[in-house]
């Protein structure tokens, strides 16, 4: 039986080997850029995160959405009302709540169309000041979007005008829409029909082409912003230029000119003449770049010093791998200058419907260049208007700043969602650093500092705090006044959280090694203090750039023993545990997660920082890579062995049909156990167990693992040469 199974291997190997090798190289390449990003200095369970919660109408779901924010107040769009909360104590200003339910007729009509009671409410999604004391509000209005212009007079609110909100406001409160207000106009990116099949970018009366997949192809809009003469939209959509089988989603930035007046003919009068879009490239460079293709959120435009001379204007974005792939997320920075360069570069062109998309030669681009702001687009030649309709896509992708992500996180448990940036926080030595907050889809918020060095940037993850339960993704994050204050929004809860960790730290070395620009060590008081509470920095020390605690040696109050705090020492602990149970890594990983999920209500703190740290240590990755390479090696060896046997001793297997039959059987079993099915964790476990059982070298310590890694790499490359 064993031999017959072996005879079937070669055939399978031909299919399997390239995948195994590719995956292996990707992983190897991936970890190089990944490992340094993995440590988190502090982790806090929900009970240790200071926060004030706002639940709105607790008897029903609110689908919260931050509408507007100033120094004192934040406005939340919810179910049938706009809540006005104070940003200092997060108390609801009940007298300033704007109440706006759907009319009974609209509610009934909505019910008739088969929507639920929860759907048939007015969820407020849009709020912009159009003049002082006057604002535009739009709501889903029971799946019949409606807008109002309200004004305030003598402390009372009046309705000036009520208009249809189709194309401005989504029908579904959870639809991924965005809007921005500029020069008296609302620019929206949403859907214009009940069944959400007509996506559009709209400013009365201009819109993108109806059902033209070249312009918008099942988009999920993420954000919009105004910059110069243009409005920019960030979103993800099905990639029309991807010509292989299957569908792929790419991230995009699109722009329209604010002065666009539509085309010259009646048929083009209500169409953009300046709509252009480009792909966003957030990837780990290499022979096979690893892409994070699905944008989830962006910051606003941030101007700061990032290593280069002068300042740059950038946008931070969180991008992830597709839902059905290995859970990977990244933070990328995109320079506005790079975005503009791409829009000034070559266009992509498709000769015919099934042809590949190729760069269009410069001499075929009409003049004036399509997509630029023109004084009056209504006098443009037809040629230009038709060109931009068929060539909305730019050839080049917008590169991430420094050519790589600022941070990468790979995890089976979570992806990054919302992002917010506290720009250019000043240290006591007058350097400035961006402090970044990112949410996860399992209810946590990461605090990160971006430390630029001449032509690259390093992200240090300061803390991970549990803000909502595991099943409540963080949908939006907003910076509130005060160091470390953030408003985190989930579907039916909003929290003002304080992620200022200075007070939790008691030693000088810890305070400096944390590298949080918000914290400095006060050598007079002997305490780690928040910098915004300090007026004179004479007795303060801080080292955000290097995190070097050697300055603490001068402090009598702090015997410098960074080891006790240092993350590396925590890692070593976790490695000790690994030594005890070498083959259980993935199992432990799952066990941890179930343990933690009991803590949703913050009742216990069983899921302490240490178990989380072990999950994502470089050691864990190394073991994973080593084991996968061992599996690769094992398969490779079998292939080599069997192919040679097969060619040399053919007469041994006279019955082709017999072999064929087993071929099917084994292909089935092998495929199920292969790394080609990474989605199923238990499958991976099987492979791991099999390989550790069948391979002699036990991983008794990390040193031997490293050695294995190196030798495997060599062997695999040889196999690749011979059999691919």
Ligand X SMILES: *[C@@H]1O[C@H](CO)[C@@H](O)[C@H](O)[C@H]1NC(C)=O
Q: How far is the CB of 506 from ligand X (least distance, A)?
A: 21
Nearer to ligand X, 95 or 693 (CB): 95
* Crossing angle between the packed helical segments 618-648 and 567-580, to the nearest 10 degrees: 40
Query: b vs e for 378-399, b when ≥16 Cβ sit within 10 Å of the residue's Cβ?
Result: eebeeebbebbbebbbbbbbbb
| Residue 97: Cβ within 10 Å count | 15
Nearer to ligand X, 59 or 656 (CB): 59
Using the contact rule CB under 6 A, the part of the chain among 171-179, 421-429, 461-469, 563-571 near ligand X is: 171-179
Q: Is 573 in the site for ligand X (CB under 6 A)?
A: no
Nearer to ligand X, 96 or 702 (CB): 96
Query: Could you tell me where the DSSP H helices lie in 458-584?
Result: 508-514, 567-580
Place of tokens 């120094």: 71
| Residue 594: Cβ within 10 Å count | 9
Nearer to ligand X, 422 or 516 (CB): 516
Q: Is 427 in the site for ligand X (CB under 6 A)?
A: no
Separation of first and last alpha carbons in the chain:
28
Interface residue with ligand X among 332, 397, 511, 528 (CB under 6 A) is: 397
Q: Is 93 in the site for ligand X (CB under 6 A)?
A: yes
Spatial neighbors of 107 by CB under 8 A, at least 6 apart, are 120, 121, 142
Q: What part of residues 320-339 is at the interface with ligand X (CB under 6 A)?
A: none
**H or E element that contains 283:** strand 283-284
Interface residue with ligand X among 33, 36, 50, 289 (CB under 6 A) is: 289
Interface residue with ligand X among 33, 50, 101, 285 (CB under 6 A) is: 285
Q: Is 455 in the site for ligand X (CB under 6 A)?
A: yes
Residue 234: name the closest of 284, 185, 184, 301 by CA: 301
Residue 228: name the closest of 198, 183, 268 by CA: 183
Residue 27: name the closest of 459, 701, 675 by CA: 675
Interface residue with ligand X among 23, 48, 106, 175 (CB under 6 A) is: 175
Nearer to ligand X, 318 or 465 (CB): 318
Nearer to ligand X, 201 or 716 (CB): 201
* Per-residue CA distances from 62 to 104, 108, 122, 123, 443 (Å): 19, 20, 10, 8, 17
Q: How far is the CB of 176 from ligand X (least distance, A)?
A: 4
Going by their DSSP bridges, the two strands 276-281 and 398-399 should be labelled as: parallel
Interface residue with ligand X among 39, 130, 163, 176 (CB under 6 A) is: 176
Strands of the sheet containing 456-466, edge to edge, are 40-44, 456-466, 444-453, 432-440, 416-426
CA distance 612 to 592: 8
Interface residue with ligand X among 399, 405, 452, 517 (CB under 6 A) is: 399
Interface residue with ligand X among 102, 296, 312, 465 (CB under 6 A) is: 296
Size of the site for ligand X (CB under 6 A): 25
Using the contact rule CB under 6 A, the part of the chain among 53-61, 260-268, 339-347, 477-485 near ligand X is: 53-61
If you ran DSSP here, which 8-state letter would residue 19 be given? H
Using an 8 Å Cβ cutoff, are 440 and 416 in contact? yes
| Residues 63-82 as x/- pattern, contact with ligand X by CB under 6 A | ----------x-x-------
Place of tokens 């791991």: 688
CA distance 643 to 178: 58
CA distance 224 to 120: 27
Query: Nearest 5 degrees, angle CA 426-CA 429-CA 433?
Result: 35
Interface residue with ligand X among 356, 548, 598, 694 (CB under 6 A) is: 548
Nearer to ligand X, 12 or 98 (CB): 98
Nearer to ligand X, 145 or 399 (CB): 399
Q: How far is the CB of 47 from ligand X (least distance, A)?
A: 28
Nearer to ligand X, 426 or 546 (CB): 546
Ordered DSSP codes for 115-182? --TTTSS-BEEEEEEEETTEEEEEE-TTTS-EEEEEEEETTEEEEEEEEE-BTTB-SSTTS--EEEEE
Nearer to ligand X, 242 or 637 (CB): 242
Q: Is 281 in the site for ligand X (CB under 6 A)?
A: yes
Spatial neighbors of 99 by CB under 8 A, at least 6 apart, are 80, 81
Q: Is 177 in the site for ligand X (CB under 6 A)?
A: no
Q: Is 465 in the site for ligand X (CB under 6 A)?
A: no
Q: Is 60 in the site for ligand X (CB under 6 A)?
A: yes
Interface residue with ligand X among 47, 53, 57, 108 (CB under 6 A) is: 57
Nearer to ligand X, 281 or 377 (CB): 281
Nearer to ligand X, 246 or 375 (CB): 246
Using the contact rule CB under 6 A, the part of the chain among 55-63, 333-341, 385-393, 685-693 near ligand X is: 55-63
* Tokens representing residue 187 in the block: 């620019």
The residues that touch ligand X, with contacts defined as CB under 6 A, are 57, 59-60, 73, 75, 84, 93, 96, 174-176, 220, 281, 283, 285, 289, 296, 397, 399, 403, 454-455, 546, 548, 550
């Amino acid at each position: 039986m064993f031999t017959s199974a072996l005879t079937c291997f070669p055939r399978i190997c031909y299919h399997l080997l390239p995948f195994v090798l590719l995956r292996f190289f990707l992983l190897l390449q991936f970890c190089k850029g990944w490992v340094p990003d993995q440590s988190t200095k502090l982790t806090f369970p929900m009970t240790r995160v200071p926060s004030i919660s706002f639940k709105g109408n607790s008897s029903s779901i609110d689908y919260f959405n931050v509408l507007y924010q100033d120094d004192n107040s934040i406005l939340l769009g919810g179910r049938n009302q706009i809540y006005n909360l104070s940003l200092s104590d997060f108390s609801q200003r009940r007298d300033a709540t704007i109440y706006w339910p759907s009319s009974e007729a609209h509610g009934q009509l909505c019910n008739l169309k088969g929507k639920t009671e929860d759907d048939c409410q007015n969820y407020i999604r849009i709020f912009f000041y159009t003049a002082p004391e006057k604002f535009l509000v739009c709501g889903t209005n029971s799946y019949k979007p409606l807008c109002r212009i309200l004004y305030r007079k003598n402390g009372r609110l009046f309705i000036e005008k009520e208009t249809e909100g189709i194309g401005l406001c989504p029908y579904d409160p959870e639809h991924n829409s965005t809007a921005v207000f500029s020069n008296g106009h609302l620019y929206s990116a949403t859907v214009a029909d009940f069944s959400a099949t007509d996506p559009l970018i709209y400013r009365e009366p201009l819109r993108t082409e109806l059902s033209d997949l070249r312009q918008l192809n099942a988009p999920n809009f993420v954000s919009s912003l105004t910059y110069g003469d243009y409005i920019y939209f960030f979103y993800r959509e099905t990639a029309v230029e991807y010509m292989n089988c299957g569908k792929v989603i790419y991230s995009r930035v699109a722009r329209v000119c604010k002065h666009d007046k539509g085309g010259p003919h009646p048929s083009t009068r209500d169409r953009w003449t300046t709509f252009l879009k480009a792909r966003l490239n957030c990837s780990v460079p290499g022979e096979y770049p690893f892409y994070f293709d699905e944008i989830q959120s962006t910051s606003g435009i941030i101007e700061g010093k990032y290593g280069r001379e002068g300042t740059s204007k950038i946008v931070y974005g969180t991008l992830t791998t597709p839902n059905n792939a290995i859970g990977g997320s990244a933070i990328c920075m995109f320079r506005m200058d790079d975005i503009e360069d791409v829009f000034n570069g070559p266009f992509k062109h498709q000769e015919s419907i099934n042809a590949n998309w190729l760069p269009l030669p410069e001499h075929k681009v009409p003049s004036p260049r399509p997509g630029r702001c023109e004084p009056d687009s209504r006098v443009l030649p037809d040629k230009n208007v038709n060109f931009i309709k068929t060539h909305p896509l730019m050839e080049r992708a917008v590169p991430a700043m420094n050519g790589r992500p600022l941070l990468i996180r790979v995890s089976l448990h979570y992806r990054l969602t919302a992002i917010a940036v506290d720009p250019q926080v000043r240290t006591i030595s007058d350097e400035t650093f961006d402090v970044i907050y990112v949410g996860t889809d399992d209810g946590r918020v990461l605090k990160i500092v971006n430390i630029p060095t001449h032509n690259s940037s390093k992200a240090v993850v300061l803390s991970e705090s549990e803000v909502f339960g595991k099943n409540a993704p963080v949908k939006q994050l907003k910076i509130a006044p005060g160091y470390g204050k953030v408003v985190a929004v989930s579907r039916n809860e909003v929290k003002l959280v304080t992620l200022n960790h200075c007070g939790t730290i008691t030693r000088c070395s810890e305070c400096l090694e944390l590298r949080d620009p918000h914290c400095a060590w006060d050598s007079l008081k002997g305490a780690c203090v928040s910098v915004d509470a300090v007026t004179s920095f004479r007795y303060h020390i801080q080292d955000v750039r290097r995190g070097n605690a050697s300055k603490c040696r001068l402090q009598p109050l702090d015997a410098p023993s960074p080891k006790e705090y240092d993350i590396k020492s925590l890692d070593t602990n976790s490695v000790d545990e690994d030594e005890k149970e070498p083959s259980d890594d993935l199992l432990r990983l799952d066990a941890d997660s179930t343990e933690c999920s009991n803590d949703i209500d913050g009742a216990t703190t069983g899921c302490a920082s240490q178990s989380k740290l072990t999950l994502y240590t470089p050691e864990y990755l190394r073991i994973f890579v080593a084991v996968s390479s061992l599996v690769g090696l094992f398969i490779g060896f079998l292939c080599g062995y069997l192919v040679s046997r097969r060619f040399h001793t053919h007469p041994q297997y006279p019955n082709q049909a017999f072999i064929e039959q087993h071929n099917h059987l084994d292909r089935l079993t092998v495929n199920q156990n292969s790394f080609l099915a990474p989605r199923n964790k238990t499958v991976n476990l099987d492979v791991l167990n099999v390989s550790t059982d069948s391979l002699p070298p036990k991983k008794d310590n990390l040193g031997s693992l490293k050695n294995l890694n190196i030798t495997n790499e060599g062997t695999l490359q040889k196999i690749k040469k011979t059999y691919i």
